[in-house]
């Protein structure tokens, strides 16, 4: 089995990453053509919506500009939406009938922007063969319902630690931690350097960042030990509350808070804290999609950002990560510009555009990973994890509904403020699953 086949198999049953440094835009569909019609000629306009967390130009903006340059007379109208409320905002607009023509979506079923529940609610338009061919083998269930394709994946994203080596060196941390004991020791060292520095910066007031932090930690505590855990939960062979690995995951967050690993006021911080602390070097790392390192590098050229894996609990434990097909696009079933929207997605399906998107997002192309040399990229330190297939896809994309992930994110917020316990968070996740 090739590495690409191993990757594709691991992507099955899971979905794309909730971005920390993400993408944006949305408004009502353009009028002028009947549903299913539309023109790609002069004067054509359609809308594109996506999530965004900062002012850095997103990959979708890059592609929109390139498409408009290649197609004079076509206008893509962009309207940014905050990442932490994007899913609920888009679903509300879909229900009201005034959503954008083209939507950023996520594979699977675990989020409010996920393709499967949106397609089942008849909000999304079936796509053609060009979109279907972009889906990695084994991942069809993430983007298809009843054999029809409703989302077009654009790349592969690895979630782990975005690590500022410049800030680490300044704080006296010469190498990334390889065990949890080393993590806590590094936290003390960085905090002791003064200046309000911290090893990690956390946007604790946002469900997406609280949630993705937990998922990244769970890779080594849960899925490295039992890659089929999601399948077992689906068949009621296990529970969150009954799994030691999930208890260890949330306990690690409490232990890191106690060890001073997070910046002061982390429980009330938003995404701006991540951008500011990482760019200024006051924090060494944050939990999120590793492609964000490329965006930060552009914003802070005096700092050096790389990708790192969060370490296993014990020294010598197996390194394990999260990698998923991500950044998918879908067409609004109520759009009056379906022809124009389909032309845009067909253009994106071309390998040349896939490569442009991967470079713009700092992620990895949807195909050809087994042929890539990662030694000179930001992924050098996690290259072995990717090449060996020592990763799981994003866990929550295979969860029963988005309420489970919401229970995790809000539960972690409660852990940070002392209002929740590990057991209460896990019980709330099981309750949400069984709804």
Q: In angstroms, rounded to a whole number, what is the distance separating the alpha carbons of residues 209 and 216?
A: 11
Which residues lie across from 283 on neighbouring strands?
198
Residue found under tokens 């529940």? 117
Please check whether the domain covering 158-323+382-433 is classified as CATH 3.40.50.2300: no
Domain ranges for the chain: 3-154+327-367, 158-323+382-433
Distances in whole angstroms, Cα of residue 208 to Cα of each of 19, 71, 262, 275, 411: 8, 36, 17, 15, 12
Residue 46 β-bridge partners: 76
The pTM of this model reads: 0.76
* For range 342-352, the mean pLDDT: 90
- The larger pLDDT score, comparing residue 36 to residue 325, is at 325
pLDDT, position 43: 67
- Superfamily of structural domain 3-154+327-367: Periplasmic binding protein-like II (3.40.190.10)
Specify the pLDDT at position 195: 87
**DSSP-derived secondary structure letter, 324:** E
Range ranked top by mean pLDDT from 244-258, 308-322, 323-337, 368-382: 244-258
The two most distant CA atoms of the chain are separated, in Å, by 64
Comparing CA positions, the residue from 114, 52, 123, 44 lying closest to residue 84 is 52
pLDDT mean over 416-427: 97
Instruction: Check if 3-154+327-367 and 158-323+382-433 are the same fold.
Output: yes
pLDDT tens, residue by residue, 111-168: 889 999 999 999 999 999 999 999 887 788 889 999 999 999 988 888 999 999 999 9
pLDDT-derived band at 265 (thresholds 50, 70, 90) equals very high
Mean pLDDT of the chain: 86
**Residues near 144 by Cβ (< 8 Å), separated by ≥ 6?**
132, 135, 150
Instruction: At 299, give phi and psi (nearest 5°).
Output: -80, -30
Give CA separation, 61 vs 27, 55, 314, 362, in Å. 15, 11, 42, 14
Mean pLDDT of 415-421: 97
Q: Is 285 helix (H, G, I), strand (E, B) or coil?
A: strand
Whether residue 27 has pLDDT greater than 60 = no
pLDDT in tens, 363-383: 788 877 767 889 998 899 999
Residue 323 has pLDDT above 80, yes or no: yes
pLDDT tens-digit map of 156-166? 888 999 999 99
pLDDT of residue 249: 98
């Amino acid at each position: 089995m090739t590495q690409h086949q191993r990757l594709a198999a691991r992507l099955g049953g899971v979905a794309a990453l909730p971005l920390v440094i993400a993408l944006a835009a949305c408004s009502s569909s353009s009028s002028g053509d009947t549903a299913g019609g539309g023109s790609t000629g002069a004067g054509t306009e359609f809308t594109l919506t996506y999530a965004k967390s900062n002012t850095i130009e997103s990959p979708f903006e890059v592609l929109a500009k390139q498409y408009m340059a290649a197609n004079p007379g076509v206008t893509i109208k962009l309207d940014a939406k905050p990442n932490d409320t994007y899913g609920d905002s888009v679903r509300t607009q879909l229900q009201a009938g005034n959503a954008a023509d083209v939507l950023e979506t996520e594979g699977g079923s675990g989020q409010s922007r996920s393709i499967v529940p949106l397609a089942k609610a008849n909000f999304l338009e079936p796509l053609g063969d060009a979109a279907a061919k972009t889906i990695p083998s084994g991942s069809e269930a993430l983007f298809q319902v009843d054999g029809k394709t409703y989302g077009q994946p654009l790349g592969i994203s690895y979630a782990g630690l975005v690590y500022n080596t410049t800030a680490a060196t300044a704080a006296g941390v010469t190498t990334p931690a390889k065990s949890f004991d080393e993590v806590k020791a590094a936290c003390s060292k960085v905090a002791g350097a003064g200046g309000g520095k911290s090893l990690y910066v956390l946007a604790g007031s946002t469900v997406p960042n609280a949630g993705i932090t937990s998922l990244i930690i769970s890779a080594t505590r849960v899925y490295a030990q039992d890659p089929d855990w999601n399948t077992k939960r689906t068949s009621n062979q296990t529970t969150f509350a009954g799994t030691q690995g999930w208890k260890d995951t949330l306990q690690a967050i409490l232990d890191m808070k106690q060890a001073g690993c997070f910046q002061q006021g982390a429980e009330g911080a938003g995404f701006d804290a991540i951008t500011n602390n990482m760019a200024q070097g006051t924090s060494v790392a944050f939990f999120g999609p590793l492609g964000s390192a490329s965006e930060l590098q552009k914003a802070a050229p005096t700092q050096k950002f790389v990708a790192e894996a969060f370490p296993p609990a014990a020294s010598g434990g197996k390194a394990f990560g999260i990698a998923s097909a991500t950044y998918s696009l879908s067409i609004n079933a109520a759009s009056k510009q379906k022809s124009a929207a389909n032309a845009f997605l067909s253009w994106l399906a071309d390998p040349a555009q896939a490569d442009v998107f991967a470079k713009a997002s700092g992620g990895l192309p949807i195909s050809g990973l087994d042929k890539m040399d990662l030694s000179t990229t930001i992924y050098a330190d996690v290259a072995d994890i990717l090449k060996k297939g020592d990763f799981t896809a994003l866990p929550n994309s295979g969860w029963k509904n988005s309420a489970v992930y919401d229970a995790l994110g809000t539960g972690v917020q409660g852990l940070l403020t002392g209002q929740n316990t590990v057991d209460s968070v896990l019980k709330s996740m099981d309750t949400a699953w069984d709804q």
